[in-house]
Amino acid sequence: MATSVETRKAIRYYASMTTLSPLQKERYRYAPKLPPALRSDIGSIGATHGDATESVADQQALKALFANTYGAPIVTLGPGTNSDAGKKRRIGVILSGGQAPGGHNVIAGLFDAMESANTESELWGFRGGPGGLVDDDRIKLTRGYVDEFRNTGGFDIIGSGRTKIETDEQFAAARRVCLDNEFDAIVVIGGDDSNTNAALLAEYFRTNDDPVQVIGVPKTIDGDLKNEYIETSFGFDTATKTYSELIGNIERDANSAKKYWHFIKLMGRSASHIALECALQTQPTYCIISEEVKERHQTLNDIVSGIADTVVQRAENGENFGVVLVPEGLIEFIPEVGALIGELNDLMAENADYFASLNTFEDQAEWVNKNLGRDSSYVFSSLPSDIQRQLLMDRDPHGNVQVSRIETEKLLIDMVSSTLRERRSRGEYSGSFSTQHHFFGYEGRCAFPSNFDADYTYSLGFNAFVLIAQGLTGYISSVRNLAQPADDWVAGGIPLTMMMNMEQRHGKQKPVIRKALVELEDLPFKRFAAHRAQWATKTSFVFPGAIQYYGVPQVCDAPTITLKLESESRA
């Protein structure tokens, strides 16, 4: 779709502002690419409906919970006609959960598609996440305001939040806001839990025969919201490239100083996609993949021994340095610690008020030890007191341990140091082990989106409006064939219920979108596994450098290595 004259004028205005950095000025001028199906007039886009779908598991339970939206077909967009495309609409948009690069472009794409269909339509942003919908805290998004945020990082256009719409009162409040203000649709931009909430909201409106549609958009830098039709969540590309630049910088420093072992914890609570992608991009000395730890029943001591073996081997070659990548959620995947955390989550959910009444850590630890099973009590007692404290901190909104607060990288450094001291005392090690620790998280969440993410997010937002114009609800915006140039991208939507299963939350079985974990049989992990022994013994660092926005497409528009390898798997 051609950019409107008004939008081009606004972009030139913001690009001329002297308070902006040169890069920010240039990014305002960037025109995101769209899939071919979305380049036509909105009224000339049609939808092809496939067969009825099933959820990934727990079909009967989910069918009962989503009686009105379960089983909807996969939709593919293409040439056609839509007589309802030009209808005047009021649409609300929500940014939910943690920030991810490209969120602003989702809203820009949604706005441009809406305006191209009918200039009298209105887009309203609910401030501060889903809570803004419940509290009716919103702002009208005008062309001038939206243009200020095109191709930029962050969620500051309307802010985000982690409120879940889950009580009867919250659903009723959201319904009242939508009906009283005559909203036709709500677009929820978020991760697996946020899109689960979108599915529940869509079902709620349908149950009450309300004319409000709900469309989700897949967002999370963790990369764990994906399947055959959602090939990647937005923000993963930019975040992993940002982290890989930093890792490469540290690798270069390590190879220059030749005296430090750097332990780097990377975001990714429930899956190791970030760690795996960064390993493929930078070829570190050692990288832990949480899913492998769980699959092979590796203990904490097994992990420590593996790192220590590598340190000893490199010391024999005179290389007393290296880089170790640690997934944020590793500790939950270690079988004995994972079992402990599971018990802790249930125990503290069932006794939240009593636990809150315990004023000291000593009282909390004593109570926990008495109420845990024998094996978990032993594991808890064997952990350093700092790790015990971190396990007992306030839970996240889902009632789970906040693993990002657990300093796993420091735990590994302490345990590897202890193991090396023992080996030194036995004459099995004579090298040096000086360490540095890092946690890369916030550094990647609001970066300037890469060209890939700028294009992908704009397409997802534009596509979300087309799904609304097609009269759909309970769907997530899908743009696929992403390993190819945008000219080959395929636009459509898949039912949110198709991605769901039942899981234990707050001690109860609840419907959630199943997280996509690293598959050990897929090409990305196999590529990593085939080379890691060489990377461990021979310094093989790769330095990706900063994200490039201008130049040859093979560099500037390239997707992640993970996406390319997964595309090869599907071919």
In DSSP terms, 353 is beta-bridged to none
CA distance 445 to 354: 36
CA distance 60 to 497: 12
**For residue 154, what are its two tokens?**
């962050």
Mutual orientation of helices 374-382 and 361-371 as an angle, nearest 10°?
A: 150
Please identify which of the residues 147, 192, 193, 222 carries the catalytic annotation. Answer: 222
**For residue 272, what are its two tokens?**
């190791």
Instruction: Note the Cα 405 to chain centre separation in Å.
Output: 18
Give pairs for 355-362: CB < 8 Å, separation 24+.
Answer: 361/385, 361/388, 361/389, 361/392
For residues 492 and 460, is the Cβ–Cβ distance under 8 A?
Answer: no
- The dihedral region occupied by 29, where left means phi > 0, alpha psi between -120 and 50, and beta the remainder, is alpha
Burial (CB count within 10 angstroms: exposed 0-12, middle 13-18, buried 19+), residue 184:
middle
For residues 121 and 114, is the Cβ–Cβ distance under 8 A?
Answer: yes
Of 223, 219, 203, nearest to 274 (Cα)? Answer: 223
Cβ atoms within 10 Å, residue 425: 9
Q: What is the 3-state secondary structure (H, E, C) of 261-292?
A: EEEEEECCCCCCHHHHHHHHHHCCCEECCHHH
CA distance 187 to 86: 18
Assess whether 453 carries a catalytic annotation.
no
Tell me the residue type at 416.
V
Tokens 């919970």 locate to 65
Tokens 């904490």 locate to 300
In DSSP terms, 492 is beta-bridged to 76, 478
**How many residues make up the chain in this entry?**
571
DSSP letter (8 states) at residue 137: -
Burial (CB count within 10 angstroms: exposed 0-12, middle 13-18, buried 19+), residue 80:
middle
CA distance 190 to 460: 12
- Which whole-number Å values give the CA distances from 30 to 183, 257, 452, in the listed order? 31, 40, 12
Mutual orientation of helices 273-282 and 561-570 as an angle, nearest 10°?
A: 100
Which sequence positions are flagged as catalytic?
222
